Structure 1
C-alpha cells in the first residue's frame, strides 16, 4: 500500500521489510525511490523481515525500476570528458550520481532477493541503501547548481549487470558486487578528488567535499560486504580467499588494476593476502 508523506513523495506501508525493498526497487522516479528508501530505514526498528522471499508480480517491468532518462548505453559507449571544463565536471558528477542511484538498487536487491539470512544482514543493507540515497541526493543537488540534472547525460549499467549475474548465488553477490565492483570506488575517489582540487573552481571544490562524505561511508559499505562474504564462507565451509578467485573466474568479474587505496581497503576489512593478490594483478 502506498500513501504520500509530508514531503509529497509516496511511502510504502503495511509490508515486511523484504516486501518493501522489492516495491521500492520497482519505483522509477529517482526522488520517490530515494525518499521511500529513507522512510523505510527510519522505520526499520518496527519492521519484521519476512521469512519467505517475495515474488515480483508477473506483469511487472524488469528490475530495477529506472527513469526514462538517462539514456543507458554500454560502458564502452559512454564518452569521457576532461574535468578541466565546466561541461566535463557536470558529466563526471552525473556519472557518480548514476553510480549512487544504482547502488540504492543494489542494496535493495540484496535485501529482497536472498532469504534465510540473519536479521542484521537485512538491516545492514537497508542502512547501505539509505546512505546511498543520501549520496545520490547530495550529488543531484550539486549537479543542479551546475545547471544540469540527473538524466541529462548518458550512463551505463555495469554495476547492475553483475547484480544480475549473481542473482542465484548470495556468496557470489557479496564477493563480486560490494567487495569488487563497489570497492573500486575506494580506489577511484581520491584520484577524482585530486583532479578536482587541481581545477580549483568553487563547484570543483564543493564536489571534493561531497566525495569526502561519500568515501567515508563507502568504506563502511564495503566492510559490510566483506563481513557477510566471510560469514557465508564460514557457514558453507569455503576458504574466502581461494573461493574469491574461483568466483572471479566463474562470473567473469573484472580483474582490478592498480592504483589501489590500500588504507581504505584495510579499513574496509581486506586482508594483507587479498591486497597482495590485487597488487600481483
Structure 2
C-alpha cells in the first residue's frame, strides 16, 4: 500500500531528499541540451535509488522560492519549431527518408516525455503531498524516456541523420499545460489517453519498419520501448486511482463494474471518464490495443465509453 510521507526522523530525511529531487527535476527541465538532459536524468535516477547519502552532482539547496517555482517552458536547444500542421508527413516507412522521419518524430516525443515526467514531480509532488512511491515511479519513467530518446537518436545517426535535423512542434507540451492545474487531469490525459494511444499504434509502427527491412529499428521499438511504455501507462492509472481513493468525492452509490478479470468501483471509473471529457477534446479513436491496455491495467470499461461511436 502507498502511504504519505513519514513524520519521524527518517521521514524528515525522506522529505529533505524529496526537496532535493524536486530541485533536481527543475534543473532537468531547464537544461537546454537534450544530451545533458538525458545525462542529468540518468544521474538523478541513480542517486534517487541509491542510499542518497550524497546530493546529486551540482545540487543546489536553493531556497523556498526556488522550490516553489514552476517551469512553464522547459529548456530546449536550437530546434526548428513549427506548427504541427507544418511538419512533414512521415509516410509509411517505405523509404529511408520516411523511416528517418518516423524515428525523428518518436525521438522528439520522448524528449518531451522526459520533461513531462520531471514536471509531474516538480509541479505536483509536494503540492499534493504525494508519497515516496509517486517519486519512485516518475523518476523511473523519466529515466526510461531519457534512455528511449538516446537509443532513438543513436539509431538516427546510424541511418545517416541526427535528432534536430527535421522540424518539430511543441504540441505535446502545450497540451500538457492544459492540465497544469490538476494532477488528476495530467495523469488521465497524458498517461491514460495519449500514452495509451501510443500503445494502440506502436505495433503498426513496428510493422512499418519490419516490412521495409529495418529489423534493428523494429526490435528497438518492440523489445525496449513498447514494453516500457506499458509500465508508464500503468503508473498514470495507479496514481489516478490513488488520488481518487485518497481525495476523491465519494457518492453514496458504490456499485462495482466487472469486466473480464478486473473489478473496479464505478466511482473511480466514472471519475476518470469525467476528467477525460473535461480536459480532452474529442473522443478516443479505435481500434484499441486491448492486450497492451490490459497489461497496463485498463480494461474496456475505462476507455470504450469514451470512444468514437461507429
* Larger Rg, first or second structure (1 or 2): 2
Asked if the contact 1:30/1:66 (under 8 Å) is kept, the reply is yes
Q: How large is the RMSD of aligned CA atoms in angstroms?
A: 2.3
| Deviation by residue 1:191-250 (Cα, 9 ceiling, x = unmatched) | 1111221112xxx21110110110010000100000001111111224322222322232
Shift of 1:23: 1.0
Counterpart pick for 1:98 among 108, 118, 121: 108
> Partners of 1:64 and 1:181 in 2: how far apart?
20
Gaps of at least 5 residues in structure 2 are: 1-16, 56-60, 250-266
Structure 2 residue 82 is the aligned partner of structure 1 residue 73: yes
Asked if the contact 1:24/1:33 (under 8 Å) is kept, the reply is yes
Q: Which residue of 1 aligns with 2:190?
A: 177
Change (3 A) 1:161 1:254: farther
> Partners of 1:247 and 1:253 in 2: how far apart?
11
Gaps of at least 5 residues in structure 1 are: 1-12
Counterpart pick for 1:153 among 166, 172, 183: 166
SS at match of 2:67: coil
Q: Which residue of 1 aligns with 2:120?
A: 110
Structure 2 residue 177 is the aligned partner of structure 1 residue 164: yes
| Deviation by residue 1:20-52 (Cα, 9 ceiling, x = unmatched) | 00111100101000000000000003459x9x7
**Please, what TM-score do these two structures have when normalized by structure 1?**
0.86
Q: Which residue of 2 aligns with 1:269?
A: 297
Shift of 1:19: 0.7
Q: Which residue of 2 aligns with 1:255?
A: 283
Asked if the contact 2:189/2:280 (under 8 Å) is kept, the reply is no
| Deviation by residue 1:167-189 (Cα, 9 ceiling, x = unmatched) | 11111111111111122110111
Asked if the contact 2:28/2:37 (under 8 Å) is kept, the reply is yes
Q: Which residue of 2 aligns with 1:43?
A: 47
Asked if the contact 2:273/2:306 (under 8 Å) is kept, the reply is no
Asked if the contact 1:167/1:173 (under 8 Å) is kept, the reply is yes
Asked if the contact 1:100/1:135 (under 8 Å) is kept, the reply is yes
| Deviation by residue 1:225-280 (Cα, 9 ceiling, x = unmatched) | 00001111111224322222322232234422112111000000113311432556
Structure 2 residue 218 is the aligned partner of structure 1 residue 208: yes
**Please, what TM-score do these two structures have when normalized by structure 2?**
0.78
> Partners of 1:30 and 1:124 in 2: how far apart?
22
Asked if the contact 1:106/1:160 (under 8 Å) is kept, the reply is yes
> Partners of 2:299 and 2:240 in 1: how far apart?
13
Shift of 1:163: 1.6
